Structure 1
Amino acid sequence: MSLREQGLTYLQEGKLEAAASSFLQAIEDEPDNAINYVNLGDVLIQVGEDEKALPLFKKAVEIDEDMATAYYSIGTLYYKNEKYKEAMESFEKALKKGLQTADNYFMLGMSMIHLDQPKLALPYLQRATELNPMDVDAHLQYGLCLGGLGLFEAAKTQMGKVLDLKPNEPDAYYNLGVVYYMHENNFTKAKECFEKAIEIKPDHALSAYGIKLIEKQGM
């Protein structure tokens, strides 16, 4: 068993310190093998050592510029630290290098959302839901993006999918309520959705505000 295989075994067993030791030794033995840097970086992230992990991922792409997973890991670290432009660029590189996964499409789309580029984000979030139709967050964020662009019927469909997957998701009920309120002028249905959101999450402030707006209109 190679040091890398040994490290992966330790990782699967939850023995993070032993895994890190194996990957570090693998780097010393094979300093030009990019995957060893990625593996060690992944372990460091799991133990909260993000600052130490980033240089390892950057070293991996210096050695192998086609290491798509390293670009993805770099992107997640930038995203975590709210460096959304750098995150977007990293996810784009990962995509160009062949990492066409649901997670990469989702994170690329979300980076664009944070950069106030919803039109650009839309196809990436859509693709994320296509690749992983069971991803609640992907459907929710795709729906929010659609709604923000005024595509209310499509947004309504996505919120329905969220509730199919997770029946007690208060944000989906809230956003359905917004569609009923703003697009369909169906204040009764809107109020029902807001009330359902509060039933699930009593401190859902946006839903409470929505109910107040409706009640002010005598509904």
Structure 2
Amino acid sequence: MTQFVPGIERVFTPDIKRVEVDISPRGDIKQGQELAKATKFDEALKEFDAVLKEDPTSIKAHLSAGNVKYKQKQYQDAIAHFEAAIRLDPISTNAYLRAARVHLEQGGVEQALEHFQNALKLDPNLAMAYVGLGQVLLKQENFNEAVQQLTKALRINPRLLAARKRLAQAYDHQEKHSEAAAQLKAVLRIKPTDANAYAGMGKIYFIQQNYNAAREAFKKAIALEPESSSNAQLGLAVSLIEEEKIEEASAILAKVALDSSKNEE
């Protein structure tokens, strides 16, 4: 039995267990997504990479990283992330759609077609998959089938702008200009600020020899997107030439030439 001895303090010393602290950075997917929205792509990728280092099976991190790589036009890296997501979750329609989009961007039509079809097997009401099939068929110049697939997309979602724009392209290739115009007008009813739709309307009006309407449509397209409107400016110039407004057309063509030379520098 231990006896208490007066004048001597007993000191309690607990057993100390050394704890190893993980000081490696832990990624945050939500933070990375916010950074990506702010176009801070390198910072966003650091977050996603940190998540994947800790958990290589994170589907959200693969999809998010793939999106950033796609925006950076690093397509091979983007495909690697999306294909990884598919392997981890073979029933993820989102992963199939994103992988297909990148394959299509790179000209991998067959791979894109396979992924769009896989997405539709999982969800036959997936409107964007029908839009994707329409894009593939447009590239294959199978315009009749493209119209059918894009029409399916619009039956599911009549407000799907991507479907209406692609459908307008298909009709344009078929020289069904009235049908194409109807789709572009529908786009503008839904989104009155769509510059591409105005440019498309300008092209159709020009083909129909309605040069005044073409001129106004091209002007609206340019006003909405001044920095990316070279095609619209060329369309405007040609419309002005048809109206015998040569000086105005010459000024526009000179500006297009100047902008083009600056971009080459």
Regarding TM over 0.5, the answer is yes
Q: What does 1:109-188 correspond to in 2, within 5 Å?
A: 109-167=168-226, 169=230, 170-180=233-243, 187=244
Match for residue 247 of structure 2?
A: 192
Q: CA deviation at 1:166?
A: 4.3
Secondary structure of the residue aligned to 1:10 is: helix
Q: Which runs of 5+ in 2 are unaligned?
A: 1-28, 30-56, 70-76, 259-265
1:101 counterpart = 2:160: yes
User: TM-score when scaled to structure 2?
Assistant: 0.62
Match for residue 21 of structure 1?
A: 84
One of 85, 89, 114 as aligned partner of 1:55: 114
Match for residue 5 of structure 1?
A: 60
Do the aligned partners of residues 179 and 129 (structure 1) sit closer, same or farther apart at CA in structure 2, a change above 3 Å counting? farther
Q: CA deviation at 1:67?
A: 0.9
1:89 counterpart = 2:148: yes
Match for residue 71 of structure 1?
A: 130
Aligned-residue identity in percent: 18
Do the aligned partners of residues 69 and 178 (structure 1) sit closer, same or farther apart at CA in structure 2, a change above 3 Å counting? same
Note if contact 1:162-1:172 (Cα within 8 Å) is conserved in structure 2.
no
Q: Which runs of 5+ in 1 are unaligned?
A: 181-186, 204-219
Q: CA RMSD in A?
A: 2.7
Question: Which protein has greater RCO, CA pairs closer than 8 Å, 6+ apart?
Answer: 1
- Matched letter for residue 19 of structure 1: F
Match for residue 217 of structure 1?
A: none
- Matched letter for residue 122 of structure 1: A
Note if contact 2:167-2:180 (Cα within 8 Å) is conserved in structure 1.
yes
Question: Larger C-alpha radius of gyration, 1 or 2?
Answer: 2
Q: CA deviation at 1:68?
A: 0.5
Note if contact 2:211-2:240 (Cα within 8 Å) is conserved in structure 1.
no
Note if contact 1:173-1:193 (Cα within 8 Å) is conserved in structure 2.
no
After superposing on structure 2, the runs of 4+ consecutive aligned residues of structure 1 that deviate more than 6 Å are: none
Q: CA deviation at 1:126?
A: 1.4
In 1, the alpha carbon distance for the partners of 2:189 and 2:215 equals 17
Note if contact 1:72-1:90 (Cα within 8 Å) is conserved in structure 2.
yes
Match for residue 101 of structure 2?
A: 42
Please identify which structure carries the higher helix content: 1
Q: CA deviation at 1:55?
A: 1.4
Q: CA deviation at 1:175?
A: 3.6
In 2, the alpha carbon distance for the partners of 1:9 and 1:143 equals 37
